[in-house]
Structure 1
Amino acid sequence: MPKHPPLPVLAVAVAATLLLSGCVTVSTEGATATSVPTATPSPSVPDDMTMRVPPADWECGQLSALSGILYRSAWEHTEGLIDDAEYASRVAAVQDAWAYMPLGKSGVTPALREVQQAAPDGLTYDNVEYARAIDAANAACDAAGSIVGIGALPGQGG
């Protein structure tokens, strides 16, 4: 049986994806070089710096990533490649990712907000609200021109 990353590793990977997704921009305008070695100061943030609002394609990319994790994890669980505890930990990590995912103000944002609200009650089609919300979010991304894509593992046709 292959070894899979434990929940903390998976949680860090999801958090890193969210942090590295480009939600913050730092300007280096006006920075000057100095030849005198000095201690590294804390980076300063310009007064006019604000969080950028995630666009629809970023939001749909997050939907793709989280849906892909669930799809692949469910398949691995069904195939006996991960046990119940490993599967439950992945689902819990995705539920946390939904809970804390920053949303924008795009045309897909309302549909994703519905997914966020339904996710705590379960991430399967047994949760009717989640099923309706995830289908609506997929349709909203498609309508916005950002098709949701889910990658398959080897053995799943990937």
Structure 2
Amino acid sequence: MYLVFVCPKCERNAQLLEPGHKTTRCQRCNSIIQTKSLRILGAFEDREDAVLLRAQLQAELANQPDGVPVQRKEDGTLYQANYHAFETKEPPKTKPKKADEIICAVLREKGPLIVADCEYYCKEKGLEPEKFQEMLQKLILKGDVYRPDKGIVALVP
């Protein structure tokens, strides 16, 4: 697991941390940080997702001349205004899925489908119809998808 946080001392550096460490050092200001008191902005199983969030935060921090603006909520607690989008700890949007992944995901979710219906659901997920037809043929030849009946496609069990 990878945790993403911003140095509470200088508020200028976003970093990654693997759980289990009691302290860490800020790579920018070199201060020692107690990890139990850190405000975690994201927790990810995949390192690439954590790196993406860290890069977004670092870009945001680079545009702030005075670091992270701290504000008070109505109940008096402090929060960093720029991080409201990351408090949910959802990973940032990743690369678009490949055509074969989209088709397989639709068939996994919906089960066997008429080809036109499968194309419709794939189009909803951003797959162009031309690419759908091309990739469907490749998946059939590869053996990941089969035609149990005329005009119907399904994932190979």
Which is bigger in relative contact order (C-alpha 8 A, separation at least 6)? 1
Structure showing the higher helix proportion among its residues = 1
Please report the TM-score for the alignment, with normalisation by the length of structure 2. Answer: 0.29
Structure number with greater Rg is 2
Structure number with higher strand proportion: 2
